[in-house]
Amino acid sequence: MTTDCVFCKIAKGELKADLVYEDSQVVAFRDLNPQAPVHILIIPRKHIQSLDALWDQDANIVGRIATVARDIARKLGISEDGYRLVNNCGEQAGQTVLHLHFHLLGGRNLGWPPG
């Protein structure tokens, strides 16, 4: 954990968030600034700065995040209509929080390509 990381604080319960799922590896919570009717952030508990900073030995966490996203999508009723799982990696991609996270977006038509 890095002491000034907001997502580490959420994972540790030190900062309030609207949690939708948690287990020993992963935490999922509603985005503070939702871009769709369903907008969930899914993060590893472990502090990993970005996808680019992911070590091969931690790669299983991305698979775990994908299966958690699938289950949350089903639970929140967006899996039939469709949803998007997005990672912003680095400054030009729009990453603002330097703790690996995937956005689960759904509940509306999502444009392509993204901006």
Taking the C-alpha atoms of 27, 40, 79 and 57 in order, what is their torsion angle to the nearest 10 degrees? Answer: -40
Question: Applying CB under 6 A, does 92 fall inside the site for ligand DGP?
Answer: no
The number of CA neighbours under 13 Å toward the Cβ of 39 is 10
The number of CA neighbours under 13 Å toward the Cβ of 30 is 11
Question: Applying CB under 6 A, does 88 fall inside the site for ligand DGP?
Answer: yes
Per-residue contact track with ligand DGP, 17 to 46, x per CB under 6 A?
Answer: x-----------xxxxx-------x-----
Q: Which of 47, 99, 101, 103 is catalytic?
A: 101
Q: Which residues bind ligand DGP (CB under 6 A)?
A: 6, 17, 29-33, 41, 88, 94-97
Q: Which residues are catalytic?
A: 101
